[in-house]
Amino acid sequence: MTRRGKLIAAAALLLAAGGAYFALGGAAPPPPPPAATAPAGPVGVGALGRVEPASRIRRLAPGNSQEGTRIARMLVEEGDQVQAGQVVAEFNDATLKDAALAQAEAQLAQARARLERTRAAGRASEVAAQRARVEALRNAEASARREAERAERLERSGAGAEATAERNRFAANRARAERAEAEAALETLLSPRPEDLALAEAELAAAEAAVTRARAEAALARLRAPINGTVLRVLARSGEAVGSDGVLEMADLTAMDVVAEVFETDLPRLRPGAMAEVVVPGEPGRFTARVREIGWQVRRTTQASTDPVAAVDARTVEVRLTLDAEGVAALARRSNMQVQVAIRP
């Protein structure tokens, strides 16, 4: 075929294609518009958590730092209900410290008695006797002074001896000194010396301080419950030395929490008071909880996840949720149990 024939054949094909296009109705219809989608609503937060008493688990230990503290008597067992201030254990030095307290209290009583005696100065009978002595010495002084004056007159007139007059003057001076001494003793009986009173008050203050210290040391010889609660675990028994783990663990099981470890990226979607559902392994139903506290620190997660692609160094914040009454009744004996938490938006 010649070149001219090829051009004529190509033109014929183009005309045939154009006719077929117009015969079919023109251009193809446009694709349908995409269906409109509703805007996404707020998304809740899911997290792993653990069951914990709202009071936290308290680990009780001796109040002193001495090594080798031993338990003389353990007064509670696991599961016992205790009241705040109740003695749960006594240490081996309790008897010695009780004796030291009794001695300090006796010394305090002595110091108080000395102070009262110092303030009172003298008994009424002593004061009355001293007053009578002062009066007698005043009369003796007056008599000695009259005798001395008479002897001086006789000496000047030449009727008396000089030695007699000298003896009478000496007797008068001695009577005056004795009267002055008796009056000073009476003043001491009526009002104590300031220095004696200050010394007695200082001794009383020292005795009171000694009692306070002895009472504090005696209190350290006994372990008391800080709150009302239940003994969860006894870590040391009678006769055993107290180790670094302490003596026992206790908590108030009347209010239970779930501590959820929420990823730091989910914090903007949390709010106090938000409702949540708690899924407990082995329980057929779900328990209701409410967000009470949102933690103040971001730290690495401590809850192990079963997701093989989950980040092992994820950073989370502890969020405390208060369980309802049904959850408290079911989980009171499951402290530290791992649960799943779904916090509603």
pLDDT in tens, 125-169: 777 787 788 888 888 878 878 877 777 777 666 666 767 767 777
Q: Is the pLDDT of residue 67 over 90?
A: no
Q: Read off the tokens for 89.
A: 């254990």
Query: Which residues fall within 8 angstroms of residue 334, CB to CB, at 6 or more apart?
Result: 51, 280
The answer to whether the Cα torsion of 332, 336, 341, 345 is positive or negative is positive
122-126, 167-171, 248-252, 259-263: range with lowest mean pLDDT:
122-126
As a whole number of angstroms, the distance between CA 45 and CA 49 comes to 12
C-alpha span between 253 and 255 (Å, rounded): 5
pLDDT at 104: 96
Beta strand 71-74 with 87-91 is antiparallel
Predicted TM-score (pTM) of the model is 0.64
- Quick: pLDDT tens for 271-323: 999 999 999 998 888 999 999 999 999 988 766 555 554 545 579 999 999 99
At position 81, the amino acid (one-letter code) is Q
In this predicted structure, the answer to whether residue 9 has a pLDDT above a threshold of 50 is: yes
Tokens of residue 201, six digits: 């008050």
- Phi and psi of 281, rounded to 5°? -55, 130
pLDDT band at 254 (very low <50, low <70, confident <90, very high): very high
- The label of the residue with tokens 């003695």 reads 87
CA distances from 142 to 164, 172, 176, 178, 277 (A): 18, 8, 9, 12, 107
DSSP 71-117: EEEE---TT-EE-TT-EEEEETTHHHHHHHHHHHHHHHHHHHHHHHH
The predicted structure's pLDDT at residue 7: 53
- The average confidence (pLDDT) of the chain is 83
User: At how many degrees (to 10) do helices 194-220 and 94-120 cross?
Assistant: 160
Q: Where are the alpha helices (DSSP H) in the chain?
A: 3-23, 94-120, 124-157, 162-190, 194-220, 325-331
Confidence class for position 119, pLDDT limits 50, 70, 90: confident
pLDDT band at 41 (very low <50, low <70, confident <90, very high): low
- Output DSSP code: residue 69: -
Look at 167 and 342; give whichever has higher pLDDT: 342
Task: Measure the CA dihedral 306/311/314/316, to 10°.
Answer: -40
Least confident of 185-194, 262-271, 330-339: 185-194
**pLDDT band (50, 70, 90) for residue 22:** very low
* Residue-level pLDDT at 38: 47
The mean pLDDT value for 192-213 works out to: 92
Angle at 10 between CA 6 and CA 13, to 5 degrees: 140
Q: Confidence class of residue 24 from pLDDT cuts 50, 70 and 90? A: very low
